[in-house]
């Protein structure tokens, strides 16, 4: 993973790991998106099939994935599916996002966070930078340990 | 044995630091108990009836003497001088203080141990055949693949908040000593046309809805194993039920959509996942394989074991199993003394087992899912002295797989989920069947007790299973017959109305007497039950 950029927390508590400006268009539901062709921001609910977006990734600048509870891990798979399909726009985790979930979320490809309760920036920095290496290849471009072992 | 390199060591060290920070935030009130719970659970820390319980991972049940001694040290320093070996080949400490846990984890990390993912809705400690590397019938050493899976599953970013806990088991022989098909995923390593791979079963488990895992793929080449499991887990993470905790295990998903539909979805996902290059290269398999090479066995000098001590001979016949290497044997140390607590060992006993493992078993020990300890590689010439030292420490009950070799969960004496006390019942049964000759006459009989419907005591897989329930405020015990966790896997059937504690001990005795009256030459209890069915047993119990 890239070393975490300094958190750009804006007034809404949005944490972003991107250099581009936040996308302004409000996100529409998956059903609404699939029914209209000109939207550029989509919101995926936990039970939605993220694969339905794959034919349209070129036109999307923001995908917001809902976490109704931190225990509901479906959004991690949705994020990876989109990144694996080549999506490189903003991928935002929204909802019950806690500081200890930021690292696995980053590894699954999320690059912005809209937590319901504010996340302390220093704690977030510490938890995101604690691990230097990871066993698995994931969606964050990190070189897995097995690759480092064998070149 | 596997030895950590700097990457592995850094990972557990980082984890200690992370958990220290999480505990600090909790003690400072910066996070609520509700927010702390999934964090501590990811580290094996439960809040039980009387105290915190810490479950330490023993990956695939394998450990060396240094690690074993550390467990004794933790029991002595932070607990009440004993530990409890579990049905998942781990160890639990029952009387832990929250503020001590970061230090305990730091001590564990010095001997390449941790408590990572020993609880929580994530991939748990991988279990395996306790005779790995020693059994004559082994096709492939399951520890190699279990270690690969340990690394793959540790802090897996996508599968950290699954619908429910997830247990994977690997075996490498036809004989199943690890209840493989009663796991969320059960893998049997096999050779096909000279290629090593896994037979994959998905959707087994015990709990309130016991199921035997159906085969989902008859062969996945070893090179594709991680990708295939990634696909299995992703389908579950996306579509496993999250509306009802009791229907959230993968067995329910596989059952509800059917094995064929689940397989179809996995195969589709596998095509996508396989293109991502998630599987390590051959060099990594070889690196791990080298660490599980055979120890330096010495050639058999052909001396027969001296059986002149009759107590030793009984133990030899019951607890010692053949080894693949001539001149060696597999020693099972029973943690099931008469009147004892199944799976418990004192610090002194743990230290002694560590010493014996170091001196007589190439520094290796194993924990079994039946809550016993194995010395996997003992020279036959050393068996007598090993037995003498075990016997002096109360560690030589000659009862492996007999009726007193009981699996029991901690039950209402410790567990906040339990409805009934498993331990006193196990103790009573061992008292009732105290006569070793009677036990040997009954022969192989796997009795398993769970103190609630969650089935941690594997009662569904017991030849005789006992389930404790709460019936209008009093403990009640249901009896079931005919389960098996072995390669002839089956689920037990309930005999009928339940009993109180003494009543169920009587019922067990009637079951064994009925068996003795009906058995034919060479039949185990389970064989007789399968031949004659429930009726004669029911008649004997309730008639």
Q: Which tens digits make up the pLDDT trace of B23-67?
A: 998 999 988 888 888 889 888 999 888 889 999 999 999 999 999
DSSP state of A54: G
Whether residues B143 and B257 fall in one domain: yes
Q: What are phi and psi of B164, to 5 degrees?
A: -160, 175
Q: How many residues does chain B have?
A: 543
Residue A108, chain B, CB below 8 Å: the answer is yes
B1 in a domain, yes or no? no
pLDDT over 50 (residue A5): no
Considering only CA atoms, which of B37, B97, B115, B94 is closest in space to residue B410? B94
Cβ-contact B229, B202 below 8 angstroms? no
pLDDT over 70 (residue A27): yes
A123: confidence class by pLDDT, cuts 50, 70, 90: confident
- Pick A104's closest partner by Cβ from B152, B160, B284: B160
- Coil, strand or helix: which one is B400? coil
Chain A contact set for B280 (CB, 8 A): 144, 146-147, 150
Q: What are phi and psi of B83, to 5 degrees?
A: -135, 165
d(CA B380, CA B331): 10
For tokens 């690997």, what's the residue?
B170
Whether residues B194 and B221 fall in one domain: yes
Note whether A73 contacts B237, CB cutoff 8 Å: yes
A50 in a domain, yes or no? yes
pLDDT confidence of residue B205? 96
B531 in a domain, yes or no? yes
CA distance A85 to chain B (A): 9
CATH number of the domain to which B266 belongs: 3.30.413.10
Chain B contact set for A141 (CB, 8 A): none
d(CA B175, CA B387): 26
Both structure tokens of A63 = 């995908």
Whether residues B465 and B502 fall in one domain: yes
Both structure tokens of B181 = 């098909």
Helix (H) or strand (E) holding A98: none
Whether residues B449 and B384 fall in one domain: no
Whether residues B384 and B415 fall in one domain: no
Note whether B155 contacts A104, CB cutoff 8 Å: yes
pLDDT confidence of residue B476? 96
Chain A contact set for B11 (CB, 8 A): 131, 133, 135
d(CA B311, CA B412): 36
B478 in a domain, yes or no? yes
Q: What are phi and psi of B8, to 5 degrees?
A: -60, -45
Whether residues B169 and B197 fall in one domain: yes
The 10s digit of each residue's pLDDT in B488-518 is 999 999 999 999 999 999 999 999 999 999 9
Cβ-contact B420, B450 below 8 angstroms? no
B197 in a domain, yes or no? yes
d(CA B76, CA B70): 10
Handedness of CA B121, B123, B129, B132 (dihedral sign): negative
Domain count, chain A: 1
pLDDT over 60 (residue A2): no
Which of residues B109, B143, B177 is at a domain's end? Answer: B109
Cβ-Cβ contacts under 8 Å for B95 (sequence gap 6 or more):
B50, B51, B79, B80
Whether residues B388 and B465 fall in one domain: no
Considering only CA atoms, which of B295, B301, B211 is closest in space to residue B483? B211
Whether ipTM tops 0.85, in short, is yes
B124 in a domain, yes or no? no
d(CA B173, CA B129): 9
DSSP strand E in A12-119: where?
Answer: 15-16, 28-29, 41-44, 62-67, 90-95, 112-115
Q: What is the mean pLDDT of residues A40-65?
A: 96
What's the domain range around B151? 134-288
Estimate to the nearest angstrom the gap between the alpha carbon of B244 and the chain centroid: 26
Cβ-Cβ contacts under 8 Å for B269 (sequence gap 6 or more):
B231, B234, B235
A122/A41: higher pLDDT: A41
d(CA B269, CA B251): 19
Substitution target in B8, B237, B238, B243 with the highest count of A β-carbons within 10 Å is B238
Cβ-contact A44, A66 below 8 angstroms? yes
Whether residues B328 and B454 fall in one domain: no
A4: confidence class by pLDDT, cuts 50, 70, 90: very low
Which chain A residue has its CA at the smallest distance from B277's CA?
Answer: A137
Whether residues B87 and B150 fall in one domain: no
Cβ-contact B129, B142 below 8 angstroms? yes
The CA-based dihedral angle spanning residues B117, B118, B122, B123, taken in that order and rounded to the nearest 10 degrees: 90
B57 in a domain, yes or no? yes
The 10s digit of each residue's pLDDT in B267-305 is 999 999 999 999 999 999 999 999 999 999 999 988 899
Cβ-Cβ contacts under 8 Å for B187 (sequence gap 6 or more):
B142, B145, B168, B169, B170, B171, B180, B198, B199, B200, B201, B225
d(CA B507, CA B464): 11
Tell me the percentage of chain B whose pLDDT exceeds 70: 100
- Pick A108's closest partner by Cβ from B5, B7, B157: B157
A2 in a domain, yes or no? no
CATH number of the domain to which B75 belongs: 3.90.480.20
A3 in a domain, yes or no? no
pLDDT confidence of residue A24? 83
Note whether A136 contacts B281, CB cutoff 8 Å: no
Q: Please report, in tens digits, the pLDDT of each residue of chain B (543 residues total).
A: 999 999 999 999 999 999 998 999 899 998 888 888 888 988 899 988 888 999 999 999 999 999 999 999 999 999 999 999 999 999 999 999 999 999 999 999 999 999 999 999 999 999 999 999 999 999 999 999 999 999 999 999 999 999 999 999 999 999 999 999 999 999 999 999 999 999 999 999 999 999 999 999 999 999 999 999 999 999 999 999 999 999 999 999 999 999 999 999 999 999 999 999 999 999 999 999 999 999 999 999 888 999 999 999 999 999 999 999 999 999 999 999 999 999 999 999 999 999 999 999 999 999 999 999 999 999 999 999 999 999 999 999 999 999 999 999 999 988 889 999 999 999 999 999 999 999 999 999 999 999 999 999 999 999 999 999 999 999 999 999 999 999 999 999 999 999 999 999 999 999 999 999 999 999 999 999 999 999 999 999 998
B297 in a domain, yes or no? no
Note whether A136 contacts B162, CB cutoff 8 Å: no
A121: confidence class by pLDDT, cuts 50, 70, 90: confident
A32 in a domain, yes or no? yes
Q: What are phi and psi of B189, to 5 degrees?
A: -75, 130
What's the domain range around A132? 8-150
Cβ-contact A118, A100 below 8 angstroms? no
Residue A122, chain B, CB below 8 Å: the answer is no
d(CA B327, CA B377): 10
A77 in a domain, yes or no? yes
CA distance B127 to chain A (A): 19
d(CA B48, CA B488): 35
pLDDT confidence of residue A10? 61
Q: What are the DSSP calls for B317-337, one per residue?
A: HHHEEE-SSTTEEEEEE----
Whether residues B230 and B375 fall in one domain: no
Estimate to the nearest angstrom the gap between the alpha carbon of A145 and the chain centroid: 23
Please list the helix, strand and coil fractions of chain A in percent, rounded to the nearest 5, in that order.
Answer: 35, 15, 50
Domain count, chain B: 4
Handedness of CA A51, B184, B36, B60 (dihedral sign): negative
Whether residues B350 and B461 fall in one domain: no
CATH number of the domain to which A57 belongs: 3.40.50
d(CA B334, CA B349): 12
Cβ-contact B180, B187 below 8 angstroms? yes
Longest dimension (CA), chain B: 67
d(CA B111, CA B154): 18
For tokens 């072995």, what's the residue?
B486
B458 in a domain, yes or no? yes
Which of residues B357, B392, B427 is at a domain's end? Answer: B392
Whether residues B354 and B245 fall in one domain: no
pLDDT confidence of residue A9? 57
Cβ-contact B488, B179 below 8 angstroms? no
A1 in a domain, yes or no? no
CA distance B453 to chain A (A): 23
């Amino acid at each position: 993973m890239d070393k975490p950029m300094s958190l750009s927390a804006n007034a809404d508590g949005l944490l972003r790991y991107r250099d581009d400006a936040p996308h302004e268009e409000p996100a529409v539901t998956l059903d609404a998106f699939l029914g209209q062709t000109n939207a550029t921001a989509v919101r995926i609910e936990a039970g939605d099939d993220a694969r339905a977006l794959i034919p349209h990734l070129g036109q999307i600048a923001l995908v917001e994935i809902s976490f109704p509870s931190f225990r509901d891990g479906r959004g991690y798979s949705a994020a990876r599916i989109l990144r694996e399909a080549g999506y490189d726009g903003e991928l935002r985790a929204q909802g019950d996002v806690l500081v200890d979930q930021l690292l696995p979320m980053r590894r699954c490809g999320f690059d912005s966070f809209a937590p319901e309760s504010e996340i302390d920036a220093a704690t977030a920095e510490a938890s995101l930078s604690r691990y230097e290496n990871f066993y698995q290849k994931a969606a964050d471009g990190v070189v897995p340990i097995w690759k480092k072992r064998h070149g | 044995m596997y030895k950590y390199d700097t990457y592995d060591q850094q990972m557990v060290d980082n984890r200690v630091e992370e958990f220290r920070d999480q505990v600090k935030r909790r003690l400072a009130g910066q996070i609520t108990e509700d927010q702390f719970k999934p964090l501590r659970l990811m580290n094996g820390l439960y809040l039980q009836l009387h105290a915190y319980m810490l479950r330490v991972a023993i990956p695939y049940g394998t450990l060396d003497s240094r690690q074993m001694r550390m467990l004794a040290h933790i029991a002595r320093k932070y607990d009440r001088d004993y530990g409890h070996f579990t049905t998942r080949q781990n160890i639990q400490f029952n009387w832990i203080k929250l503020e001590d846990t970061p230090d305990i984890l730091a001590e564990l990390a010095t001997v390449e141990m941790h408590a990572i993912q020993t609880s929580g809705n994530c991939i748990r400690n991988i279990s395996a055949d306790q005779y790995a590397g020693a059994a004559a019938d082994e096709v492939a050493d399951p520890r190699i693949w279990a270690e690969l899976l340990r690394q793959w599953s540790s802090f897996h970013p996508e599968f950290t908040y699954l619908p429910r806990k997830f247990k994977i088991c690997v075996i490498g022989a036809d004989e199943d000593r690890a209840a493989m098909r009663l796991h969320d995923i059960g893998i049997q390593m096999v050779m096909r046309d000279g290629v090593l791979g896994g037979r994959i079963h998905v959707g087994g488990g015990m709990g309130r809805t016991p199921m035997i895992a159906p085969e989902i793929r008859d062969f996945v080449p070893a090179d594709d194993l991680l990708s295939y499991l990634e696909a299995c887990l992703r389908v579950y993470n996306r579509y496993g039920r999250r509306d009802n905790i009791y229907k959230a295990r993968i067995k329910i998903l596989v059952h509800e959509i059917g094995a064929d539909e689940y397989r179809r979805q996995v195969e589709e996902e596998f095509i996508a996942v396989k293109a991502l290059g998630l599987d390590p290269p051959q060099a990594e398999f070889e690196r791990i394989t080298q660490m599980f090479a055979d120890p330096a066995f010495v050639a058999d000098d052909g001396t027969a074991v001296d059986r002149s001590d009759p107590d030793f001979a009984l133990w030899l016949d019951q607890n010692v199993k053949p080894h693949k290497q001539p001149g060696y044997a597999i020693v099972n140390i029973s943690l099931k003394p008469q009147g004892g607590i199944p799976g418990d060992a004192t610090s002194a006993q743990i230290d002694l087992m560590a010493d014996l493992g170091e001196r007589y078993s190439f520094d290796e020990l194993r924990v079994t899912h039946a809550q016993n300890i194995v010395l996997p590689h003992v020279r036959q010439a050393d068996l007598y002295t090993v037995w003498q030292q075990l016997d002096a420490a109360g560690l030589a009950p000659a009862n492996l797989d007999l009726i007193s070799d009981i699996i029991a969960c901690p039950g209402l004496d410790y567990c906040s989920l339990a409805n009934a006390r498993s331990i006193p019942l196990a103790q009573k049964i061992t008292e009732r069947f105290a006569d070793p000759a009677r036990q040997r006459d009954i022969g192989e009989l796997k009795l398993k007790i769970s103190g609630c419907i969650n089935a941690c005591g594997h009662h569904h897989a017991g030849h005789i299973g006992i389930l404790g329930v709460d019936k209008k405020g009093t403990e009640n015990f249901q009896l079931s017959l005919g389960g098996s966790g072995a390669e002839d896997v089956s689920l037990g059937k309930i005999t009928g109305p339940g009993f109180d504690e003494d009543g169920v001990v009587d019922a067990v005795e009637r079951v064994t007497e009925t068996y003795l009256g009906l058995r034919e030459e060479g039949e185990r209890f389970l064989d007789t039950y399968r031949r004659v069915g429930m009726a004669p047993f029911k008649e004997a119990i309730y008639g």
